[in-house]
Chain A
């Protein structure tokens, strides 16, 4: 399966989706002008991955900041992972970033996937 490897920019997150090495990560800042357009290839990739997933998928979110339009798309990403067996979310937040911790808690309440909360 193809690897998605996007470098982060000042308004888009770093994305690494690599089935072979079992690395699934979204990190950095997410405030693109068109969040739906930015996240569509990621949603497409996850849909294809879901056809033949690894036995276990540890999906890491290590976001410094995301805007509200991105939050809707992050929920779409989580919802698409919900249908795949063996998915766990590692939700990282900076140790003094209560808002990012709370955002992760809210997402965990909206989808049926186990979340692990970690600080960096």
Chain B
């Protein structure tokens, strides 16, 4: 049972306030949001910061709900997506992780790199271009999630792809919301 203590210590040392691993649905999304909201309320977080964190969490969670089934080499055994919220003195850190294949890796990398090159005004015009021209995807996404996360956080999106073998990569995405 030592792993429980290890997990507890890891969560404390990394300042994680919520870790969810498993199935992702709209119902789970609502529960995770409610927990995170209550957590921020109990810490007396400012409403403007709460809104930004909520916003980033929704886009992150709904991305996983819509896309985590696409490429999941482990799906026969278990769901492989993870969602984490960390809180440090000066920031909240919202992270998600899920498997993707090589094609998805390349397109995600390009989209996030393009977004990270833009400043505030550049992101605003990208948002307006996409909302004007795109229709919703067959999964109901507007193609605006990453742009919105970058706009609301005001920070660059950080990502990583860990090789899982057999043409799959574990895509981790981190968005930071500064508290001050």
Contacts and interface: CB of A to CB of B under 8 A. Distances in A.
Contacts of A68: 59, 141-142, 144-145, 147-148
A60 interface: no
Given A94-B47, A96-B48, A10 B142 contact: no
Query: Which of the listed residues A32, A69, A109 has the most CB atoms from chain B within 10 Å of its own CB?
Result: A69
B30 interface: yes
Interface stretch (A13-21, A33-41, A112-120): A33-41
A11 B30 contact: yes
B111 interface: no
B55 A69 contact: no
Q: Is the interface of B mostly helix, strand, loop or mixed?
A: helix
B1 interface: no
Interface string B21-64: 00000100010011000000000000110011011001100100
Given A71-B144, A109-B128, A99 B62 contact: no
A51 interface: no
Given A10-B30, A65-B55, A35 B140 contact: yes
A106 interface: yes
Contacts of B14: none
B34 A10 contact: yes
Interface in B134-175: 134-136, 140-142, 144-145, 147-148, 152
Given A32-B26, A34-B140, A68-B148, 16 more contacts: A10-B30, A33-B26, A33-B65, A36-B136, A65-B51, A67-B59, A68-B141, A68-B142, A68-B144, A69-B62, A72-B144, A96-B48, A97-B48, A99-B52, A99-B55, A110-B131
Interface of B: 26, 30, 33-34, 47-48, 51-52, 54-55, 58-59, 62, 65, 124, 127-128, 131-132, 134-136, 140-142, 144-145, 147-148, 152
